[in-house]
Amino acid sequence: MARIDATSEHKYKFCIQGEYMKESTLEKYLVKEITKLNGLCLKWVAPGTRGVPDRIIIMPEGKTYFVEMKQEKGKLHPLQKYVHRQFENRDHKVYVLWNKEQVNTFIRMVGGTFGD
């Protein structure tokens, strides 16, 4: 089971190691699993605003999540860290997911089950 840990990299980074996947493959997996839960997993495109999280996830019962996807060996750009802090300063978490195991943990956290 993953845990959310306060790290120097990012306050809400999931701290687990797992199966390596390309970022695009991992993102497709997240979209598929959120859709199974009747959620929306929207790609966030903000012209003129760099550093925003990759996905806005809107779940039933008014729950909204912001997710940044990274491949396991990737790292957050300083601008992303800055934007994430801006969210945190306004009491919004940005979940940074680095592998499939973390996506599965996130799915469980938002109230779902998943299938490999």
Q: What is the pLDDT of residue 7?
A: 38
Q: What is the pLDDT of residue 3?
A: 41
Q: Domain 23-109 maps to which CATH number in 1.10.3720.10, 3.40.50.1970, 3.40.1350.10, 3.40.50.970?
A: 3.40.1350.10
Where are the domains positioned within the chain?
23-109
CA 53 to chain centre: 8
The pair phi, psi for residue 97, each rounded to 5°, is -110, 125
Q: What is the pTM of this model?
A: 0.78
Q: Using an 8 Å Cβ cutoff, are 115 and 11 in contact?
A: no
pLDDT truncated to tens, each residue of the chain (116 aa)? 344 433 334 444 444 445 567 888 999 999 999 999 999 999 999 998 999 999 999 999 899 999 999 988 889 999 999 999 999 999 999 999 999 999 999 999 998 665 54
